[in-house]
Each structure stands twice: as structure tokens, then as C-alpha cells.
Amino acid sequence: MNYKSISVFLPVFNEGENIGKAVLSIKKYLAKRFKDFEILVISDGSTDNTNEIVQKLEKKDRRIKLFTRNKRLGYGAGLRAGFEKSTKDLIFYTDADNQFDINDMDKLFPLLGKYDIVSAYRIKRKDPLMRIFIANVYNLLVRLFFGLKIKDVDASFKLYKKETFDEMKLITNTGLTDAEVLIKAQKQGFKIGQIGVRHYPRLHGQTPFEIGSRNIFFALVKPKVIVDILHEMKILWKDLKK
């Protein structure tokens, strides 16, 4: 592989039970493969011990960097900050809740020979059925309105060549940002590859996107989350027509 350095970032909100394991497993993985890497934690408005845990790790290893903001600005805003702060040749991001196995990154690198972005899809998604249903509708809308033919748009396991972002201006702040990057990259002629990876249930902590408890079938997504994404779809649609 020609790429010698990599930035890996994690958007985080209240992941005290997950963040330590997430950062350390990524560090172990990268240390075996890259001489030059950084791990960025983008923590928005976390009110638990997430920031303290990362500060301790940061003190021991300067390649780990914490960026905090006082308020929860949205998942997409976290992604945008991550893309902006990343300084290395490659950029990768994933969630902090350990729902992916970082070792599956091995499957992504070979595709960089042919593609500028590698977007993973979850071979068997381990989330409540209702979440999977909503995600399927979302994927369909993104395909119909923006012509993006990606199997699993919001799977948070994506690798990008840094130059993808050279000319990119992002405007969304919700979960739509993931799709926005792929749509704009495709428009600029960057090539997107896809590969299947494993997925695991969230074992600790609670997603801020749902209300109440969940089981394997049921999960209630906060209506505001859906309304905000639909609203941003409209804004993105207009932005792309300019």
C-alpha cells in the first residue's frame, strides 16, 4: 500500500462504557500496520466520564487526541469536525460503541487500489428489526433522491483518501452527513468501493437517537431525529441543484 499514514476518528456522545475499549483496540490495530497514525475522539457535549477516560489515554500517548465541544451538535457535525481535524493521507471513521471489529479494516485497504473511498456494509446487521426497517427506507430514499447506489449508506466503517475532501463543502449536521460525503464525492468523480464486514449488537450505553428501552424487534427512534434528517434532505437537494 502506498499510503503511509492514517487518521482514525470516532464521533462520541456519552460513551464512557465503550470509549476506552474502542480507542485501545484501534491503537493496537494501527500500531501493527502504520508508523504514522492518529486517533481523534470528537466528543460533543458528553456529560459522563467519556472525556476523562480519553484525557488519560491522551496523556500516555500523544497520537490519541481529544476534541471536545460543550454542546451536542449532531452526529454529522461530529463527522465534519473529524474530517476537518484529520491530517494524514487516509481517513477512517467508526462509532465508539464497538459494534464493528476494527480488524475488518484489513478487508478495506486492498480496495484502495481501485477506489478512493471504501464504504463497508454490515453483512448481518445486529440491531432491532425496527431500526433495520427504518434504515432500509432511508437507504431507498437516498437512492431515489440522490442517485447513490450504496447498500448500507450509514454503516460507520468508512475509509477515504484524504484528497476526497480537498474541494468538498459539507452542509449537513445529522446522520445524513455520511450520505452527503458519498453523494458529493461521486459527483466529483471519486470512485466508491463496497465490502461486507461483521456487525455486533451494542452491549453498553444507550443511543441518543431512541426513546425508551429496546429489544431485538422493537426500538423507537425519536421523531425529531427523523424530521431533522428529512429536513436536511430537502436542504441538501437544493444545495446540489446550485
Ligand X SMILES: Nc1nc2c(ncn2[C@@H]2O[C@H](COP(=O)(O)OP(=O)(O)OP(=O)(O)O)[C@@H](O)[C@H]2O)c(=O)[nH]1
Question: Interface with Mg ion by CB under 5 A: which residues?
Answer: 95, 97, 99
The three cell numbers locating residue 218 = 422493537
- If binding is defined by CB under 6 A, does position 20 make contact with ligand X? no
Which residues neighbour 72 within 8 Å (Cβ) at sequence distance 6 or greater?
13, 44, 45, 208
> Phi and psi dihedrals of 193, rounded to 5?
-105, 160
Is 44 an interacting residue with respect to ligand X (CB under 6 A)?
yes
Whichever of 7 and 18 has its CB closer to Mg ion, that residue is: 18
Min dist. Cβ of residue 55 to ligand X (A): 16
**157 binds ligand X per the rule CB under 6 A:** no
Task: Indicate left, alpha or beta for 123 from its phi (over 0: left) and psi (-120 to 50: alpha).
Answer: alpha
Torsion of CA 42, 48, 50, 52, to 10 degrees: 110
* By CB under 6 A, residue 17 contacts ligand X: no
d(CA 74, CA 79): 9
Q: What is the DSSP string of 78-115?
A: HHHHHHHH--SSEEEEE-SS--S-GGGGGGTGGGGGT-
**Site of grid cell 490519541:** 64
Q: How far apart are CA 27 and CA 47, in angstroms?
A: 25
Nearest Cα residue to 116 out of 180, 168, 192: 192
13 binds ligand X (CB under 6 A): yes
Among 97, 104, 152, 232, which residue sits at the site for ligand X (rule: CB under 6 A)?
Answer: 97
| Phi/psi at 125 (5° precision) | -70, 125
20 binds, among ligand X, Mg ion, none (CB under 5 to 8 A by kind): none
Minimum distance from residue 126 beta carbon to ligand X (Å): 9
User: Which residues, in sequence order, are bridge partners of residue 194?
Assistant: 119
Q: Which does 68 bind (CB under 5 to 8 A by kind): Mg ion, ligand X, none?
A: none
Residues 46-75 close enough to bind ligand X by CB under 6 A: 72-75
95 binds ligand X (CB under 6 A): yes
Does 83 engage in binding with ligand X (CB under 6 A)? no
Q: Which does 13 bind (CB under 5 to 8 A by kind): Mg ion, ligand X, none?
A: ligand X
Report 177-236 residues binding ligand X (CB under 6 A): 202, 207-209
- Closest CB to Mg ion among 99 and 186? 99
Task: Residue 232: name its binding partner from ligand X, Mg ion, none (Cβ under 5 to 8 Å by kind).
Answer: none
Pick the piece of the chain touching ligand X (CB under 6 A) from 5-13, 143-151, 177-185, 188-196.
5-13
The binding site for ligand X (CB under 6 A) comprises 11-13, 15, 42, 44, 72-75, 78, 95-97, 99, 127, 202, 207-209
